Amino acid sequence: MKFVDEFRDGDLARRLCSEIDRLSRGQSLKIMEICGGHTHTIYKHGIEDVLPPNIDMVHGPGCPVCVLPMGRIDDAIAIARQPGVIFVTFGDMMRVPGSKSSLLDARAEGADVRFVYSPLDALKIAHQNPDKQVVFFAIGFETTAPSTAVTLLRAQAEKIKNFSVFCNHVLVIPAIQAILDSPDMRLDGFLGPGHVCMVIGMRPFAFVARDYRKPVVLSGFEPLDIIQSVYMTVKQLDEGRREVENQYARVVRPEGNLKALEAMEKTMEGRPFFEWRGLGFISHSALKLRPEFAEWDAEKRFEVPGIRVADPPACQCGEVLKGAIKPWECKVFGTACTPETPIGTCMVSSEGACAAYFNYGRFSLAAQRNRLPVIDLTAPTGANLKDS
């Protein structure tokens, strides 16, 4: 990327951090970054280490893999195991555990499960295999839903009959509202998910500032983007303003991408309820195919168990996803639950808060801040945690 150095200028980062320190005046402030991409940048670049200690970054539910309940994974596996089906998914979903197994296990047992980078590739597979039923496992927020919508419109235009979509797209705004309404939640501001906003624009976030009196800053993904967004949030708080501001103006347009919204509107509609792992049922928080697209709807074409599966009792992903606890505060973090043997979804995806804590050694910082035994920061993280 041509301008990457501009967004990683250490001096500028330090200057911004001292401004954050000055404006926040030692007040304890909790700021939630909603997006998994932001969580990743924060851990990878050690942003928590340079922010003043009174600024607490709370990691939100912005990883679409982490929030998918196990029952939906079981449904996907049930479709994949049906004879004559080619089940196509993004690579991230292959190892996500359902209640008994994963899609990777299903493949090892003979199911035809393939991974792609785009739903359009799933459509190509359908073209190449006219005697098979090709099912695309659609997951993701509003950034990913347009690619599913475009694929459905192409399937309709090309009259492709052996293709369908198992739709699990979720929506950011109802999740934020659920978090804001949660009684155990105390947040002072939000960093908005930059690429979701590239699609939906700025307006859907207005209620957070207006009704809940919390600042929202739509943020980019480079380290300086995030530090500047924290600065803008703290500045709003200091000046008594509660607004939606756009730090990521080089990408986010106030109106979003109108053609993408139109494509989503043509092909999908809201589900009355959808279960989010860790957050429970949230109304109007997910999308399903419109009745006009019923012939491409895998839930209409195939029998799925549709059984709700409770999270393992040791799992505290819900509290992590709401920011009520830090990943390392979960009882099984780094012991029974690791990226190699995940118990909860926050450890499954590399964007999940627990996996990021584990992989980038944030655990040791958390230990220092909380006066737990300090772990050697120079040692490989995995070794630290395995030895502890």
Partner 1 sequence: MTTQLDPACPSDSAGHCVTCADEARSVLVVSLDPAMGMALVTAQEPETGEEIEDGSEVDISLLEEVGPGDILLVHGGVALSNQTRPTGVELYERGRDKQI
Q: Applying CB under 8 A, does 267 fall inside the site for partner 1?
A: no
- Residues numbered 285 to 324 that lie near ligand SF4 (CB under 6 A) are 315-317, 320
3-state secondary structure the chain: CCCHHHHHCHHHHHHHHHHHHHHHCCCCEEEEEEEHHHHHHHHHCCHHHHCCCCEEEEEEEECCCCCCCHHHHHHHHHHHCCCCEEEEEEHHHCCCCCCCCCHHHHHHCCCEEEEECCHHHHHHHHHHCCCCEEEEEEEECCCCHHHHHHHHHHHHHCCCCCEEEEEEEECHHHHHHHHHHCCCCCCCEEEEEHHHHHHHCCHHHHHHHHHHCCCEEEECCCHHHHHHHHHHHHHHHHHCCCCEEECCCCCCCCCCCHHHHHHHHHHEEECCEEEECCCEEEECCEEEECHHHHHHEHHHHCCCCCCCCCCCCCCCHHHHHCCCCCHHHCCCECCCECCCCCCCHHHCCCCCHHHHHHHHCHHHHHHHHCCCCCCCCCCCHHHHHHHC
Q: Which is nearer to ligand SF4, 119 or 318 (CB)?
A: 318
358 binds, among partner 1, ligand SF4, none (CB under 5 to 8 A by kind): partner 1
Q: Applying CB under 8 A, does 229 fall inside the site for partner 1?
A: no
Residue 11 C-beta: closest distance to partner 1, Å: 20
Q: Applying CB under 8 A, does 344 fall inside the site for partner 1?
A: no
For partner 1, which residue of 30, 95, 107, 284 counts as binding (CB under 8 A)? 95
For partner 1, which residue of 12, 50, 173, 251 counts as binding (CB under 8 A)? 251
For partner 1, which residue of 37, 69, 71, 98 counts as binding (CB under 8 A)? 37
Q: Applying CB under 6 A, does 97 fall inside the site for ligand SF4?
A: no
- Residues numbered 324 to 343 that lie near partner 1 (CB under 8 A) are 338-340, 342
CB under 8 A: which stretch of 72-80, 115-123, 203-211, 232-240 binds partner 1? 115-123
- Residues numbered 272 to 311 that lie near partner 1 (CB under 8 A) are none
- Residues numbered 10 to 69 that lie near ligand SF4 (CB under 6 A) are none
Q: Applying CB under 6 A, does 202 fall inside the site for ligand SF4?
A: no
For partner 1, which residue of 19, 92, 105, 238 counts as binding (CB under 8 A)? 92
Q: Applying CB under 8 A, does 69 fall inside the site for partner 1?
A: no
- Residues numbered 327 to 386 that lie near ligand SF4 (CB under 6 A) are 327, 330, 332-333, 337, 343-344, 346-347, 354
Q: Applying CB under 6 A, does 150 fall inside the site for ligand SF4?
A: no
Contacts to ligand SF4 by CB under 6 A: 315-317, 320, 327, 330, 332-333, 337, 343-344, 346-347, 354
